[in-house]
Structure 1
Amino acid sequence: MKHSTLLVDAQRSALLMVDLQAGLLPVIEGAESVVAAARKLLGAAGELDIPCVFSEQYPDGLGHTEPKVIEAARHPRVVGKMHFSCVADGCLEGTAIDSANQVVVCGTEAHVCVLQTVLDLIVAGKQVFVVADAVGSRVEANRQLALTRMQQAGAQIVSVEMVIFEWLHVAGTDRFRQVHKAFLR
């Protein structure tokens, strides 16, 4: 049976971690939960050979990606940017995001860099999945407004578990058991 084009497909997707930086996370509401969700997704992506790109907004001022996050990635590619949107900045050119049909997006802040990147990815023709439990803002109301706006623009709002189970697509395999035991308990 053919995999639905509405589901996240491990063969067609890449993971984009937007600005999960050490200098920004202390002011993000629920940052610990966002980091934990991102780490689960990164771990599963690594087991399933799904490429991951990290963006860093003005790293000279906000620092680099939180070590607890980046250490969960198997082969991270890190790109710096000054524009809020990764697409507008051009930092995704030549990365796995550039060549993927589907982009799974996590990060901060939901209403600034995540929102602007997602809207630009949609305009660029990408199918975008925003992982609600792995995005954050300083103020929860801004996070909620951003999720609503991204959904209205055509992004699919999903959870970490939705993405992982869709990447796996089938139970009963060694890969399923390995990912389930490590990241879904």
Structure 2
Amino acid sequence: MLLHHADCSMLLVDAQERLLPALDGQQGMVAACGLLLRAARELEVPVLATVQYPKGLGGVVPDLAGLLPPDAVAEKICFDAMAEPGMAGRVAALKRRRVVLCGAEAHVCVLQTAFGLQAAGYEVVVAADAVASRDPEDRQRGLARMERAGMLVATSEMVVFEWLRRADTPAFKAMIPFIKRLKEKS
């Protein structure tokens, strides 16, 4: 299936200030999440974000926080964001059947949230280059497990180009510098 921006929402999971330094591949993850957030803003894809125990792990990293819409961030304690009171309603209110996931950690909160979304009837897309874990093996195993469970594992660039569809639009022209910048950071 190809993705269409009108069918998708996006969920940034726990890309937090005090968690980020411990993650393997953190710079690439932040760059890929930034690309997705910019494309979402350009194409009016609704975005939510979570922060796990912000007293201990801080808020969303500044590079990404500035790209989030107002009131997008929800605090959580549950690893599966969908198990957090009120989150299922927030996702349902977006009225989109596909959810693109990115953030941290791939094998914990991203994985459990992906399974929670899938159980709630959503099609889940995980942007592989936009997720990270402390250990690369955990990240790989988490991605493989999600893919085996029927979730689509793609890259941020795949998602963005599928959302854009065409090269002759103002949205495409607006995204090109960010796509190039992502490749420079990888």
Is the TM value for this pair above 0.5? yes
Tell me: CA distance 1:74–1:87, structure 2 relative to 1, closer, same or farther (3 Å). Answer: closer
Distance 2:70 2:39 in 1: 12
What residue number does 2:37 align with?
42
What residue number does 2:183 align with?
none
Per-residue Cα deviation, 1:66-101 (whole angstroms, up to 9, x for no partner): 111111234460001110000111342332465320
Identity percentage of aligned residues: 41
Distance 1:148 1:135 in 2: 13
Tell me: CA distance 1:97–1:165, structure 2 relative to 1, closer, same or farther (3 Å). Answer: farther
What residue number does 1:173 align with?
169
What SS does the aligned partner of 2:45 have?
coil
What residue number does 1:70 align with?
65
Per-residue Cα deviation, 1:122-178 (whole angstroms, up to 9, x for no partner): 111111110000000000000000000000111100001100011111221222222
Distance 1:90 1:159 in 2: 30
Q: Any gaps of 5 or more consecutive residues in structure 2?
A: 181-186
Q: Any gaps of 5 or more consecutive residues in structure 1?
A: 1-5
Mapping for residues 131-150 of structure 1, pairs under 5 Å? 131-150=127-146
Aligned length: 179
Match of 1:101 among 77, 85, 97: 97
- The structure whose residues are more often helix, as a share, is 2
**Residues 103 and 128, structure 1, Cα contact 8 Å, conserved in 2:** yes
Q: CA RMSD in A?
A: 1.4
Mapping for residues 1-185 of structure 1, pairs under 5 Å? 6-75=1-70, 77-96=72-91, 98=93, 99-180=95-176, 182-185=177-180
